[in-house]
Amino acid sequence: MASGNAIRGSRVGAGPMGEAERGESAPRVRVSFWCANGHETRPSFATDAQVPDTWDCPRCGFPAGQDRDNPPDPPRTEPYKTHLAYVRERRSDADGEAILAEALAKLRGEI
């Protein structure tokens, strides 16, 4: 025989939430957005709200625009760079040799 707990699986405050408790919802409009992969997203907005130019596609994460034939370009991802790669962008090999020579001279006590 099952236990006599009649409210099993519910929580305090649980109950039907209808329009009577929340009030009237604002009039809505659905707007279509398309990403570069051809996915269509149709979020709804209040009729008096400003609709954004782009919307993130929930399927692939690319930006989506309202023009189906000309969607926004996907973001260009840069490859991960190490600290050494950034240093090599700022300094030439000659600069690196000069800095190394100065540091070695300082360690040897020549400076």
Q: Which residues are annotated as a binding site for Zn(2+)?
A: 35, 39, 57, 60
3 state DSSP class of 96: helix
- Name the residue with tokens 């409210």: 7
Write out the two tokens for 7: 């409210």
Structure tokens at 66: 């309202």
| First and final C-alpha spacing in the chain | 90
Binding site as annotated, residues: 35, 39, 57, 60
